[in-house]
Structures are given as structure tokens and as C-alpha cells.
Amino acid sequence: MLLMVGYDDELNHVFGKIEGALTKEIASSYLSKVAEIARENKCRKVITDLREAELFANQREIEILSKELKGIGIEFGLKRAVIISKNINDYKVWENFNFRNGFKEIRLFSDEEVALEWMKL
């Protein structure tokens, strides 16, 4: 399992990557680090690469995590691009739970270049 989070000052966004098993606990830890780095850099944009991750969280865990986002430091209005290649329906569920809980600035992408273009808007 690989979990990486950093900040790109040239593009002014937080970037991250998860490879291997993606559980609720790993996602929560990752998002907590994202929130911390975004706060430290006064950054409002995040791009996450999950193309090499395998989702092991069930729908109930995904729903719970979406309700815990504010508590772990994710701010409303934080623009989040998520790059995926599989489990599209499961990630769509994640996106929908985010929308329901007030996190409207999240989008799923299969193409990194398209995600980067959206981040510029």
C-alpha cells in the first residue's frame, strides 16, 4: 500500500496518490493529511490519483466517511478532482454522498489532463 500527499506550489494544489487497498481508515487518514496540507498552504484545490487503488470500503463505510469529512478538516468549497480507472460505480456513490453532505466541489475523472484542466477553472 502506498499513500502519498504533497503540495505543488507551481500549480497551487494539493496532490495525493493511493495505491493498493483503500479502506475507510486509509481514506480517512489520507483526507486528514490533505486537509492539513491544504490549510498550511492556504490552498483550495486537491487532485487525488486512485487509479492503482482497490476500494475495500463498503457503501455504509463510504456514507459514514462522507459525514465525517468536516470533522477531519475537509472544508466546504475545497475543489477535489479524483482520478479513477475502476470501481466507477462505487466512486460515483462516494461522489453522491459528498454532494448530499454539502461537499459540492468534487468530480471524478478517468483522464489526468482533463482533471488538471478542471482544477484551473
Q: pLDDT tens digit string along 1-47? A: 899 999 999 999 999 999 999 999 999 999 999 999 999 999 999 99
Q: What is the pTM of this model?
A: 0.95
Extract the C-alpha cell encoding 92.
Answer: 460515483
User: Which residue type is seen at 119?
Assistant: M
Q: What is the pLDDT of residues 42-85, one digit of tens each?
A: 999 999 999 999 999 999 999 999 999 999 999 999 999 999 99
User: Which residue type is seen at 47?
Assistant: I
Nearest to 23 by CA among 58, 74, 70, 73: 58
d(CA 32, CA 25): 11
Helices 59-68 & 24-40 angle (0-180, nearest 10): 20
Coil vs helix vs strand at 76: coil
d(CA 52, CA 49): 8
Q: Is 37 exposed, middle or buried (0-12, 13-18, 19+ CB in 10 A)?
A: middle
